[in-house]
Structure 1
Amino acid sequence: MDPADALALLMSPEGRLDPYPTYERLRAHGPVVQAGPVFYVVTGYAEADAVLRDARFGVTDDVVRDQLMPGWRESPAVLSISRSMLRTNPPDHSRMRRLVAGAFTPRRIAAMRDVVRAQADGLVDGMLAPEGPVDFMAAFAYPLPVGVICALLGVPAADRPLFRRWATDLTGVLEPEITADELAVADRGAAELRSYFTELVAARRRAPADDLTTALVQAHDGGDRLSGDELLANLIVLLVAGFETTTNLLGNGLVALLDHPRAAAALRDRPDLAPAYVDELLRYDSPVQLTSRMSTAPSRYGDVDLPPESWAIVLLGAANRDPRRYPDPARFDPWRAQSAPLSFGAGPHYCLGAALARLEAQVAFPLLLRRLPGLAVAGRPERRVRLTLRGHATLPVRVGRQAAPVTVPGTRPGAAGPTP
């Protein structure tokens, strides 16, 4: 299969549901391959990492959006994404990122471990209440990360159930191809989110609080450091990115663990192994499968020349299975000597919340396996027909018996386990 046909297959519903065979078809042509007049596909780990760090590549800017999608400013979804740090280049990207970074310092993330543990324990209690199968995505994988990011933003707990549909609708705009009907759905979600955060911003102006929303409102009101559109756009992206990736990590990761019972048993007995496990789960079935960059100057990767104004489609999921870096890459192996997957990207746009997502998963998986030793998939999980954000729409599980509470040596009750 030639690269153009393989790329077309990847964008199809069949290719999106299981992209890994298509990645290998593309990889057979080399780590970087031309797949269209201006499209280059990157499947190699080293090449993907280098492109994401290369200052000659940037994300889509307004000039390009005007060429590709006239009238994009009328789309609430495209406007919300384009005015956030997700889709801006330096110096605007650097300015916005600095304003938010204080909420994600290593010390602040580490201090959230007990909070995450308490929320996860409560969600497991809820999974034990109903009879019959439970949808893991609705019962645990969504509410855990949305609760954490909403606490950071200062979103009231009663409002949190609203966001799943709005975010699911909006994130359709992150896919490499989108139909007019799908854009209309994304616009609906974006409009709901913009309306919600407009009201929250007004509330924080009246009554400031110790949360990230208040900090960003004060940055906006204090001068020209953050425009009104940027304020709303970044609040929306922080919320959506703050749980979408982690929700998919929890769902994809649980399926992988239940498919590998010996590895799951080892993590149940040794929660201190969680950091290595989470890195391997991120590598094995990445919650974010691709990103893209546009070149601003000539570059050469391997034996391929990329001219200015060409697009590099960086397949993170393929790079995470590059056999030049990961021997036997299709095998789940949490004892790999090196991992460092590219699931959170690299370079200036490296995911700001990566440490928080890792913390949530490092707490959640050992806790689930210890408290629910009989946990098993019950029925057929339903994948979302998405490529950029890979995850499950539903994941029915049978809870099984509950284990007695366990205090792990070296921890106090309620802690998440020893720090490796």
Structure 2
Amino acid sequence: MDVDEILTGLYSEPGRQNPYPWYAALHGHGPISTVPTRAEHSTITAVAVGYDLVGQVLRDPEWYKQAPPGWQEQEILRTFNSSMMFVNPPDHTRMRSVFAKTFTPRRLGALEPVIVRVVDTLLDRMAEAGADGAETDFVADFAYPAPALVMAEFIGLPESDLDWYRQRVDWIDEFLDVAGKTPQRLTQANQAAEELRAYYRDLIAHRRARPGEDLISGLVEAVDAGDVALTEEELIGNLIVLFNASFVTTVYMFSNGLPLLLAHPDVVAALPGDDALARGCVDEVLRLESPVHFLARAAPRDTELGGVPVRRDENVLLMIAGANRDPARFPEPDRFDPRRDGPPSLAFGVGPHFCLGAAVSRLEGRLALPRLLARFPRLTVTRPPTYSGSLFLRGIDKLFVSTGG
């Protein structure tokens, strides 16, 4: 197949359900390929799947994130471009330095008992729901609420607001997909951004009057004292994006990972009590089933990348999930091996935009997966999983299981 045929297949419905054969086909063309046929107004000139090449671009701060035309006219795009995830230095550096101070070893240590408490509560609920062999939806009963509750407590969101919050997150995620730029999805994403901004303004006002120990209280105090170079609107934009990015990727780490683990009974049996294996399982799940499948970066000048010419301001599509299965870096790249040696996955990115929530997500996986499988050693999947249908944030949205109870 040529590159046009591969990309057409990748963006098709079968490609969204299982993109990995298409990534393997792209590897057959080398670490980077020119995009021969481009849609009107597209600035994507090449697609990269080579691990080393993707990492090289992500580490280079001169390769930048390009805002879409007319972004000032859309609430969702204005929100994105007031957050560190979507802007470039020096604004990115300024914003990130503020939030980086909150993801300290002390805060991570304080999260451990929170994670354990949340996980054990949800496992009790799963046991009750799955009594007498009844099916339960692992995503609804565990994979979604676990990271949502942890991040809500960390950031400072009331648990009672999470159902309302989830709908807005879903609207934003649907818009982010390559097929998500429809008028309806844009309208929903704009509505979500507007409502979330109003929500955070109210929450900030409440924390200003009655501060607590959460992230929002600490940031509001720092902003009001002039201790950080961050406006309140930037604070709001970053909180929206941070919560969305930090927990959605963890939801898919759990839901994508469970079928992988259950396909390896030796790993399931050994996982409880083996912290090194738990860490390896989390890393291997993230490598094989990366929640984020691609990013884009624009060239700072006319250049060549892997022998492919890229003009200034043209974008290269960086296939994170494809790079994580690069046979040049990962022998037998489609095989699940939690004890494999090799480079770290690119699931959370690398370089200046490396995901700030990566440590929290990995901690949740390391603590939760052994507890889950110790509690339900006979856990089984009872139906084929239902995937999101998105290629940008790809994951299992419904996963029915039997706890063996």
TM-score for the superposition, normalised by structure 1: 0.90
Query: Is contact 2:277-2:339 (8 Å) kept?
Result: no
Aligned runs of 1:370-389 on 2, under 5 Å? 370-389=374-393
Alpha-carbon separation, structure 2, partners of 1:171 and 1:281: 21
| 1:346 alignment partner AA | V
Alpha-carbon separation, structure 2, partners of 1:335 and 1:222: 48
Of stretches 30-39 and 16-25 in structure 1, the one that deviates more from structure 2 is 30-39
The aligned residue for residue 33 of structure 2 is: 33
Query: Is contact 2:111-2:154 (8 Å) kept?
Result: no
Note the C-alpha offset of 1:161.
Answer: 2.5
Cα deviation per residue 1:310-344 (whole Å; 9 max; x = unaligned)? 11111110000000000000010111112410000
Q: Does 1:355 align with 2:359?
A: yes
Q: Does 1:218 align with 2:217?
A: no
Alpha-carbon separation, structure 2, partners of 1:256 and 1:203: 43
Alpha-carbon separation, structure 2, partners of 1:182 and 1:168: 10
| 2:205 alignment partner AA | A
Alpha-carbon separation, structure 1, partners of 2:207 and 2:125: 32
The aligned residue for residue 21 of structure 1 is: 21
Q: Does 1:293 align with 2:293?
A: no
Alpha-carbon RMSD across the aligned residues, in angstroms, is 1.7
Note the C-alpha offset of 1:271.
Answer: 4.0
Query: Is contact 2:281-2:338 (8 Å) kept?
Result: yes
The aligned residue for residue 238 of structure 1 is: 242
SS in 2 for 1:314: strand
- Among candidates 274, 279, 282, match of residue 278 of structure 2: 274
Of stretches 218-227 and 99-108 in structure 1, the one that deviates more from structure 2 is 218-227
Query: Is contact 2:271-2:277 (8 Å) kept?
Result: yes
TM-score for the superposition, normalised by structure 2: 0.93
Alpha-carbon separation, structure 1, partners of 2:6 and 2:388: 21
The aligned residue for residue 307 of structure 1 is: 311
- Among candidates 317, 321, 327, match of residue 323 of structure 1: 327
Note the C-alpha offset of 1:111.
Answer: 3.0
Query: Is contact 2:49-2:322 (8 Å) kept?
Result: yes
**How has the CA–CA distance of structure 1 residues 341 and 316 changed in structure 2, closer, same or farther, with 3 Å as cutoff?**
same
The aligned residue for residue 9 of structure 1 is: 9
SS in 2 for 1:129: helix
Note the C-alpha offset of 1:278.
Answer: 0.8
* Number of matched pairs: 394
| 2:27 alignment partner AA | R
Structure 1 residues not aligned, in runs of 5+: 402-420
Identity %: 40
Note the C-alpha offset of 1:110.
Answer: 2.8
The aligned residue for residue 146 of structure 1 is: 148
The aligned residue for residue 137 of structure 1 is: 139
4+ long deviations beyond 3 Å: 218-224
Cα deviation per residue 1:196-238 (whole Å; 9 max; x = unaligned)? 1121011112222222112332344345822233121111011
Query: Is contact 1:27-1:43 (8 Å) kept?
Result: yes
- Among candidates 53, 59, 80, match of residue 59 of structure 2: 53
Query: Is contact 2:45-2:310 (8 Å) kept?
Result: no
Alpha-carbon separation, structure 2, partners of 1:184 and 1:16: 24
Alpha-carbon separation, structure 2, partners of 1:130 and 1:304: 55
The aligned residue for residue 110 of structure 1 is: 109
Query: Is contact 1:76-1:190 (8 Å) kept?
Result: yes
Query: Is contact 1:56-1:297 (8 Å) kept?
Result: no
Of stretches 246-255 and 294-303 in structure 1, the one that deviates more from structure 2 is 294-303
Query: Is contact 1:120-1:144 (8 Å) kept?
Result: yes
Note the C-alpha offset of 1:269.
Answer: 5.7
| 2:64 alignment partner AA | G
The aligned residue for residue 415 of structure 1 is: none
| 1:384 alignment partner AA | S
- Among candidates 328, 331, 342, match of residue 338 of structure 1: 342
| 1:18 alignment partner AA | N
Note the C-alpha offset of 1:366.
Answer: 0.6
- Among candidates 192, 196, 208, match of residue 193 of structure 1: 196
Of stretches 87-96 and 9-18 in structure 1, the one that deviates more from structure 2 is 9-18
Query: Is contact 1:279-1:339 (8 Å) kept?
Result: no
| 2:144 alignment partner AA | Y
Query: Is contact 1:172-1:183 (8 Å) kept?
Result: no
The aligned residue for residue 417 of structure 1 is: none
Note the C-alpha offset of 1:79.
Answer: 1.7
Query: Is contact 2:10-2:19 (8 Å) kept?
Result: yes
Alpha-carbon separation, structure 2, partners of 1:28 and 1:322: 10
The aligned residue for residue 203 of structure 1 is: 206
The aligned residue for residue 125 of structure 1 is: 124
Query: Is contact 2:32-2:50 (8 Å) kept?
Result: yes
Alpha-carbon separation, structure 1, partners of 2:261 and 2:103: 28
The aligned residue for residue 44 of structure 1 is: 50
